[in-house]
């Protein structure tokens, strides 16, 4: 039985990744920052095949603990970076954990002989730090694909900046190490939505859907979405998990970074659909998904069905 280590495997996206690997007969190790907080991961214990699930405490800044976590894994998924919109100190809460955590991870993986495949959960921020606003001189009608030059803005949200720099770290690592004995593939989801597998109340992804459904703006950043009715590219959390599983198990995609996205709707339509009403606009495909569809065999669910999942 092959073993997958999933850093961040109890979060919103991570829980579905854990389920995907368990469903495909993998032994799975999931990291927990504090193993005493069982409410963070107890929902995973109800998954099918959870007899093959192990919860391990891990601080990604601790190289010894990280080395111990990955030492017997065939596949490692790295999704253990913080996703939060509110912060007091961007450097210590977002930039350092994301960038330094990625540097530590790559250093440890390089010296772990059992690992044959690594998947990095990046973000659309690795391609456009201004998301959901258009990249650079593009308009909201212009498409964006993996052929476009990644766009970085120093005024962007620190979460997006951290993801962009971390992705650059991965790319530089691949260039400096042309003869690795494992493959690294990245995936970059747009706004991930859908139903959570847990009842955790600290999920940013679930929280954003709640805000949009009820048109609540706890800060100027969210208020901007309503004021400008921003077009929002969305992807179903289940599709992201399937894409990550396929990226991990299909050989030959070393060094690639796949955009994972479905349709784009203005936020006003997202609010309508979250309230089981029909959207007023026709969806567009702004962030292109053909590469993931073609190379990972990944169909993308409609946004309407994704938001119905949230309400189910």
| pLDDT higher than 80, residue 44 | yes
Q: What's the domain count of the chain?
A: 1
pLDDT digits (tens, 9 = 90+) for 214-257: 999 998 889 999 999 999 999 999 999 999 999 999 999 999 99
DSSP 92: I
Check if the beta carbon of residue 11 is closer than 8 Å to that of residue 35. Answer: no
Residue-number span of the structural domain to which 171 is assigned: 3-311
CB 261 within 8 A of CB 289: yes
Find the mean pLDDT for residues 79-97: 63
Q: Measuring CA to CA, how many Å separate 13 from each of 81, 131, 214, 268?
A: 12, 19, 23, 25
Instruction: Give me the chain's average pLDDT, please.
Output: 92
Mapping DSSP to helix (H, G, I), strand (E, B) and coil, where does residue 120 land?
strand
What is the mean pLDDT of the segment spanning 146-154? Answer: 96
Q: Decide if pLDDT at 18 tops 90.
A: yes
Average pLDDT on 13-21 reads 96
Q: pTM for the complete prediction?
A: 0.95
Rounded CA gap, 292 and 290, in Å?
5
What is the average per-residue pLDDT within 180-209? 91
For the domain that residue 133 is a member of, what is the CATH number? 3.40.50.720
Residue 286: the pLDDT is: 97
Q: Which residues, in sequence order, are CB contacts of 108 under 8 Å at separation 6+?
A: 63, 66, 67, 70
According to the model, what pLDDT value does residue 275 have? 96
Residue 153 neighbours by CB distance under 10 Å: 15
What is the average pLDDT across 90-116? 84
- Cβ within 8 Å of residue 263, ≥6 positions away: 233, 234, 283, 284, 285, 302, 303
Whether the pLDDT of residue 87 is over 70: the answer is no
Q: What average pLDDT does the segment 205-215 reach?
A: 93
Helix axes 237-249, 12-23, angle to 10 degrees: 50
For the four alpha carbons of 286, 288, 102 and 149, in that order, the dihedral sign comes to: negative
């Amino acid at each position: 039985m092959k073993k997958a280590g999933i850093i961040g495997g109890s979060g919103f996206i991570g829980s579905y990744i854990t389920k995907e690997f368990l469903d495909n007969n993998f032994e799975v190790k999931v990291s927990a920052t504090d193993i005493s907080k069982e409410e963070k991961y107890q929902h995973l214990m109800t998954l099918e095949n959870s007899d093959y699930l192990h919860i391990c405490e891990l601080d990604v800044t601790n190289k010894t603990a990280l080395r111990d976590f990955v030492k017997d894994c065939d596949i490692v998924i790295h999704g253990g970076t913080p996703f939060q919109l509110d912060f007091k100190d961007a450097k210590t809460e977002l930039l350092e954990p994301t960038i330094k955590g990625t540097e530590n991870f790559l250093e440890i993986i390089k010296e772990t002989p059992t690992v044959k495949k690594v998947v990095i959960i990046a973000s659309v921020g690795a391609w456009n730090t201004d998301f959901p606003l258009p990249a650079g001189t593009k308009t909201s009608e212009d498409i964006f694909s993996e052929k476009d030059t990644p766009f970085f803005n120093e005024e962007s949200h620190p979460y997006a900046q951290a993801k962009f720099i971390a992705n650059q770290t991965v790319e530089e690592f691949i260039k400096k190490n042309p003869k690795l004995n494992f493959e690294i593939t990245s995936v970059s989801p747009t706004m991930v939505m859908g139903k959570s597998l847990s009842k955790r109340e600290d999920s940013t992804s679930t929280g954003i859907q709640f805000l949009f459904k009820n048109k609540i703006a706890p800060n100027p950043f969210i208020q901007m979405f309503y004021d400008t009715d921003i077009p929002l590219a969305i992807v179903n959390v289940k599709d992201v998990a399937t894409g990550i599983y396929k990226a991990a198990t299909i050989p030959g995609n070393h060094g690639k970074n796949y955009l994972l996205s479905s349709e784009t709707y203005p936020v006003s339509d997202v609010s309508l659909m979250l309230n089981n009403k029909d959207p007023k606009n026709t969806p567009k495909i702004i962030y292109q998904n053909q590469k993931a569809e073609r190379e990972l065999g990944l169909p993308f669910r409609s946004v309407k069905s994704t938001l119905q999942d949230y309400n189910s």
